[in-house]
Copies of this chain bind each other. A is one copy, B any other.
Amino acid sequence: MGGDAGLPVTVPAALQFARRNPDTKLLLVGDSTAIRAALKDQGGLGRDWYEIIHASEVVAMDDPVEVALRRKKDSSMRVAVQSVKDGRAQAFVSAGNTGALMAISRYVLKTLDGIDRPAIATVIPNQKGGGTTVLDLGANVDCTAEHLLQFAIMGTALVSAVEQRNRPSVGLLNIGEEVIKGNEVVKRAAELLRSSGLNFHGNVEGDDICKGTVDVVVCDGFVGNVVLKSIEGLARMVSSMMREEFQRSALSKLAGLVAMPVLRRFRGRVDNRRYNGAALLGLRGIVIKSHGSADAYAFGCALQRAHEAVQNGLLDDTARTVDSLRQYMQAAKEQQDSPQPAV
């Protein structure tokens, strides 16, 4: 039910996804009458790729977290998260209200052992042709060094599982040449990361995200959110200015026509719809957040991300990584605490 457009986006995306993934069954959670009507529109009725779970309420995009959590107990969002909790679904994808989604997921699913706070991670396209995973993107505004370490663990597990990459490299977002290099939290986080056994590359700067210097970039939720939105803002400006220039005159339009195949390929490379689907990490269940403004193609990419996360065992992977790191650090601590030999 969520997102700026709702069913006209989510239902066609689900149908296309089901065609690509005949092994998967989709649970469509929300107003059953409306869902059935949308399915009928798309010619998707009468096959067994889906099941509808009715929910009588909807969390609005501007509902405060408290309203979503306390007063709408039969919202499609709550019912869908519950279906993950109950093991009825292996993952949940939503284009709805991010704050509400995080709060409900955390309340219903709980966090993994060793994780204090869940984080939101997304992928930003980089120059190397792949994507850089960045977290946190707004779930946690004031973070301690330990939280940043936990984000690094979760990001490592995500990239290992979804992109099948062994020991992905982790960078800590910091500032460069300017007067004071990073605040106290970031400095301490760097120390923790260096002794964590993760593949820690060191500090990175803002431009390293698009350079693709590391696989995972870790930062607090305030910084991550502002960076993501700033980048999106620039991308929108660039594409709208380009469109304007190619439509300025008859001659420009003609040039645009000639350059069309090149421009289309270029657009394909910088198209961030491919990377739609931010992961809510650190929970005992897989929850993927689609951009509210996603179209059917983008929402389908978010569904695909959820599918990959399930197939590649993201949950077990994260739990295992957290656990082994805990043991590692415990052992390091005991070694440190044990009486020194009297040399």
Residues of A within 8 A of B (CB): 61, 65, 97-99, 102-103, 120, 125-127, 137-142, 173, 175-180, 182-184, 186, 205-211, 219, 221-223, 225-238, 240-242, 245-246, 248, 251-252, 254-256, 258-259, 261-263, 265-266, 269-270
Please report whether the interface of chain A is mostly helix, strand, loop or mixed according to DSSP.
helix
In the complex, the count of this chain's copies comes to: 2
Pull 5 A–B residue pairs with CB atoms less than 8 Å apart, ordered by A.
Answer: A102-B179, A206-B229, A210-B230, A222-B223, A223-B223
Asked whether, in the complex, the Cβ of A175 is within 8 Å of the Cβ of B222, the reply is yes
Shortest Cβ distance from A126 into B: residue: B237
Residues of B within 8 A of A61 (CB): 177
- Give A191 to B45 CA distance when docked, in angstroms: 54
Residues of B within 8 A of A184 (CB): 142
Asked whether, in the complex, the Cβ of B238 is within 8 Å of the Cβ of A179, the reply is no
Among B103, B209, B226, B236, contact of A205 (Cβ-Cβ < 8 Å): B226
Among B219, B235, B263, B265, contact of A226 (Cβ-Cβ < 8 Å): B219
Complex A-B, nearest 8 residue pairs according to Cβ-Cβ distance, in ascending order: A206-B229, A138-B178, A207-B233, A206-B230, A210-B233, A175-B225, A259-B259, A210-B237
Residues of B within 8 A of A98 (CB): 177-179
Shortest Cβ distance from A183 into B: residue: B141
- Give A195 to B178 CA distance when docked, in angstroms: 32
With A138-B179, A141-B179, A258-B258 given, name 15 new contacts (CB 8 A): A103-B179, A120-B178, A126-B237, A140-B179, A142-B184, A175-B222, A206-B231, A207-B233, A211-B233, A211-B237, A227-B227, A230-B230, A242-B266, A248-B262, A252-B262
